[in-house]
Amino acid sequence: MLARKIARHGLTLAATALLGGFLSATLVRLAPGFGVDERQLDPRLNSQSIQALRDARLERSNIFRFYFHSLRRAVHGDLGTSISLGQPVSTLLRQRAPLTLRLVGIGLLLSWTVAMALALSAAWLRVSVFDVLTTMIAGTFLCIPAAVLALLSVLWNVPGALAIGLIVFPRVYRYARNLLAKAYSQPHIVTARAKGLNESRILFWHVIPVVAPQLLAVAGISVSLAVGAAIPVEALCGLAGIGQLAWQAALARDLPLLVNITVLVTLVTLLANTGADVIGQMLRGHYL
Amino acid sequence: MKIWRAVACVVLLLGLGVSLGANWIAPAGYAKQYREVTGAPPSRAHWLGTDDIGRDRFARVLYGTRISLLLAPAAALLSTLLAALVGGLAGYLGGLWARAAMAVTDLFLALPWLFLLITVRAMMPLNVSPMISLVVTFLLLGLLGWTSAARVLCAAAGSLRNSDFVRQARASGIPPVRVFWLHVLPNLKPVLYAQFWISIPVFILSEANLGILGLGVAEPLPSWGSLLKELEGLVSIGAEPWKFIPLILLIVVVTSFQLLLSKQEEAPA
């Protein structure tokens, strides 16, 4: 049963990622100015070279053929060559992925630590001033565009990971606070508190098991948020990661690069969400 | 909370009123360049100073506010209508329709919102007239922002599909389109209102992000995004604090929408 459900999740995941790649390729193909290659205007090129460039364009102009060939090459580890940067896409992704992974990882860790610490404190203390204050802080960050936070991080010379953390933090805090507040107001927890049960015991035995599946779902979504936040942070802070690469690929209409990044981003976010979903269901006892 | 909602309402109405009166408050307009006072600090003539090519920043903030406050709700309306059509119909029809519509929705939701927006916006022509760039930016927000609302509406319409009054209407031989239009859609109104209000601050922030990244409304038209782009040139926060006025205004407006939203979120419940 578990294997079948995981296989179904995997199949959906692969189909969605492939469809995402195909849609982005279609989008680039339909974009105005796609067929124009300024290299053809280079006076040094002879007619054969210009014809070779045209042939290469022709191959990419048929979206189905381009995508089919790309997929066939991708199976053998060849992700194509970036038009704007003139380097193999696999090399570019390999070079830039570690930085983005580090930024997103540290950003997520920071945001979750702060959000959970504040949400737990608010639920534990039950002091309205503290609750209002933390909600106001989170609300303020929620109202600041991600790109502004990235700019401010440059201005204050703050690491990009902190900017990502601050972008994700208010979203996580809002959900975590509401979930914990709801859990703490449940009758059996109120009774446990009234009977003088230890707070940490209440938390680990009664609150965490109730909120864990929903918090896991938020964890899956927060990965998507952090990956999205990495784009303005890397683009504006001059950090050479996947986010900056996506930005450059979009501006240059670099079809091979954009398709691969779209598939990669879709896979990462879907994997995070599916993983959180599967673990959440297991915790709820669906698979037990 | 009621008082805060009233304050939020007053702030939004005041912001909208003042920005609508921009033509009278700042008759010189947002594009006039005072070449003799470029990059000037606030003065009696220019309350928020001038930008690096001598345009009055106060006038630009007023006109930019008008653009954001009028077009973000327009984009939110478009996305809500699309969500009602796709999500509502999928939920009402159920079965294969619902699965297909939700698969498309999942695909859109799998991509981070900003990534999707940047990718699609970059595919549009970038060297267009300011007015076209304005329409393209907000149209894009409306056309791409329906997915999460569609999911909610699909669930809401799905629960209505099996309700007694819809079953009775169907059993009476009323055509499905009429049942959807006359019986299902009116019952989705509270969810539609909530989704509309949720979308407005999201779209305002998205436009600001696009503007800062240079993919928003084209110059010389001002928008909060293009006004916030000025922060890129700052050396330190204390140097030119008046450049933060658009950011403060944006925070105040989005906060006001969030406060109003808390009421809308209560409505469907």
Chain A closest CA to B173's CA: distance in Å? 38
Euclidean distance between the first and final Cα of chain B, in Å? 17
How large is the ipTM? Answer: 0.87
Percent of chain A residues past pLDDT 90, beyond the cut: 29
Could you give the CA distance from residue A242 to residue A233 in angstroms, rounded to a whole number? 11
Q: DSSP H helical segments within chain A, as ranges? A: 2-30, 47-61, 63-75, 89-125, 128-142, 146-155, 160-184, 187-194, 199-201, 208-237, 242-252, 255-284
Could you give the CA distance from residue A207 to residue B104 in angstroms, rounded to a whole number? 36
Cβ of residue A152 closer than 8 Å to a chain B Cβ: yes
Of A23, A148, A262, the CB nearest to B247: A148
In single-letter form, the type of residue at position A49 comes to S
Backbone dihedral region of A36: left (phi > 0), alpha (psi from -120 to 50 degrees) or beta? Answer: beta
Chain B closest CA to A267's CA: distance in Å? 8
Q: Please answer whether residues B140 and B120 qualify as being in contact, where contact means their C-beta atoms are separated by less than 8 angstroms.
A: yes
Q: Is the pLDDT of residue A59 over 90?
A: no
Q: Please answer whether residues A228 and A164 qualify as being in contact, where contact means their C-beta atoms are separated by less than 8 angstroms.
A: no
Phi and psi torsions of A36, nearest 5°: -90, 125
- Confidence band (pLDDT; 50, 70, 90) for A248? confident
* pLDDT the model gives residue A222: 92
Percent of chain A residues past pLDDT 70, beyond the cut: 90
Sign of CA dihedral A38, A44, A50, A56: negative
Cβ of residue A271 closer than 8 Å to a chain B Cβ: no
Q: Is the pLDDT of residue A17 over 70?
A: yes
* pLDDT the model gives residue B126: 67
Residue with more model confidence, B90 or A75? B90
* pLDDT the model gives residue B57: 92
pLDDT in tens, A159-182: 999 999 999 999 999 999 999 988
- Confidence band (pLDDT; 50, 70, 90) for A38? low
In single-letter form, the type of residue at position A256 comes to P
* pLDDT the model gives residue A287: 46
Residues of B in contact with A224 (CB under 8 A): 110, 112
Q: Please answer whether residues B264 and B201 qualify as being in contact, where contact means their C-beta atoms are separated by less than 8 angstroms.
A: no
Residues 159-198 of B with CB under 8 A from A: none
Q: Is the pLDDT of residue A72 over 90?
A: no
Could you give the CA distance from residue A64 to residue A25 in angstroms, rounded to a whole number? 9
Q: Please answer whether residues A256 and A202 qualify as being in contact, where contact means their C-beta atoms are separated by less than 8 angstroms.
A: no
Strand intervals (E) in B32-75: none
Of B212, B236, B237, the CB nearest to A148: B212
In eight-state DSSP terms, residue B33 is: B
* pLDDT the model gives residue A242: 93
Cβ of residue B125 closer than 8 Å to a chain A Cβ: yes
Residues A220-228, mean pLDDT to the nearest whole number: 90
Residue A92 to residues A56, A76, A89, A249, B148: CA-CA distances in angstroms? 21, 17, 5, 11, 32
In single-letter form, the type of residue at position A81 comes to T
* pLDDT the model gives residue A288: 45
Residue with more model confidence, A113 or B115? A113
Q: Is the pLDDT of residue A286 over 70?
A: no
- If chain B, 269 residues long, is cut into consecutive pieces of 10 residues, what is the mean pLDDT of each piece? 87 93 89 89 89 91 92 94 92 86 81 82 76 88 89 89 89 89 90 92 93 85 90 79 91 91 56
Indicate the burial class of A120 (C-beta count within 10 angstroms; 0-12, 13-18, 19 or more): middle
* pLDDT the model gives residue A32: 64
Could you give the CA distance from residue A281 to residue B195 in angstroms, rounded to a whole number? 28
Backbone dihedral region of A32: left (phi > 0), alpha (psi from -120 to 50 degrees) or beta? Answer: beta
Count of Cβ atoms closer than 10 Å to residue B263 Cβ = 16
Is B112–A31 a contact, with Cβ atoms under 8 angstroms apart? no
Q: Please answer whether residues B157 and B87 qualify as being in contact, where contact means their C-beta atoms are separated by less than 8 angstroms.
A: yes
Tokens read off for B250: 């944006």
Of A19, A30, A144, the CB nearest to B107: A19
Residues of B in contact with A246 (CB under 8 A): 115, 118-119
pLDDT in tens, A89-102: 999 999 999 999 99
Chain B closest CA to A204's CA: distance in Å? 31
Is A31–B118 a contact, with Cβ atoms under 8 angstroms apart? no
Residues A265-269, mean pLDDT to the nearest whole number: 85
Is B111–A262 a contact, with Cβ atoms under 8 angstroms apart? yes
Of B113, B119, B236, the CB nearest to A24: B119
Cis peptide before A32 (omega within 30 of 0): no
- Confidence band (pLDDT; 50, 70, 90) for A50? confident
Q: Is the pLDDT of residue A9 over 80?
A: no
* pLDDT the model gives residue B2: 81
